[in-house]
Amino acid sequence: MNKLPLPLRNLVDQLANFPGVGPKSALRMAMTMLKWPREKTRNLGQGILDLRDRLCICSGCASLADNDPCDICSDPARDDEKLCVVSEWDSLLIMEESSFFRGKYLVLGGLLSPLDGVDPGLLEFDKLRKILGSGKVKELILALGTTLESETTNSYIKNMLAREFPGLILTRLAQGIPLGSDLKFMDKETLRQSMLYRQSI
């Protein structure tokens, strides 16, 4: 790779930082871009700049958005009494594509995983406390999947509610979701049934 022209080598090095992309794949991608019309490569570059400059984290739900508050948080037709907690933004997208949940969300930003160094301070638990402290939420729905990390996070939230918000209804998606699965990989009908027949915990 050291014999590549400097601009090409720099791009290959940058592309190789993506997950699952090695130096050879990065070189193929860079060579493909070299064959593109100049305008197409400019559009790609502008898209990357826009991704950083025009997206923000919603102050209401901590999801990615192009405005703050996001469209979901600012929608008056949404049910303030139901709050669905998801681990990541892509799980929220899956829920929204299914079009059956009309409450609001909170994106935790991950799941508790002590072995990986992910402790409560790294996730949006303070924001969750603030939302619940407003008194509007009557039901908290956990949509975190069924992995070991999901169960750890579910237990943490359950204990937090028992201490700080007794009386709040806590439910989780029904167990139609296979054990060890991540929410983002569920088909829409399974997800819909899981939300419809959610369980008290």
pLDDT tens figures, 77-109: 999 999 999 999 999 998 898 888 999 999 999
The answer to whether the predicted template modeling score (pTM) of the entire model surpasses 0.85 is no
Please list the residue range(s) of the chain that carry CATH number 3.40.1360.10: 75-200
Structural domain 6-54, CATH architecture: Orthogonal Bundle (1.10)
CA angle 85, 88, 91 (to 5 degrees): 75
Whether the per-residue pLDDT at 176 is higher than 70: the answer is no
Please list the residue range(s) of the chain that carry CATH number 1.10.8.420: 6-54
Nearest-angstrom CA–CA distance, 127 and 139: 16
Q: Which residues of 82-114 are buried (b: 16+ CB within 10 A; e: fewer)?
A: bbbbbbbbbbbebbeebeebebbbbbbbebbee
Q: Quick one: how far is CA 115 from the chain centroid?
A: 21
Sign of the CA dihedral running 39, 41, 42, 46: positive
Residues 108 and 122 sit within 8 Å (Cβ to Cβ)? no
pLDDT in tens, 120-148: 999 999 999 999 999 999 999 999 987 88
Whether the per-residue pLDDT at 177 is higher than 60: the answer is no
75-200 carries CATH number 3.30.300.130? no
Residues 173 and 141 sit within 8 Å (Cβ to Cβ)? yes
Q: How many residues does the chain have?
A: 201
Q: Quick one: how far is CA 171 from the chain centroid?
A: 19
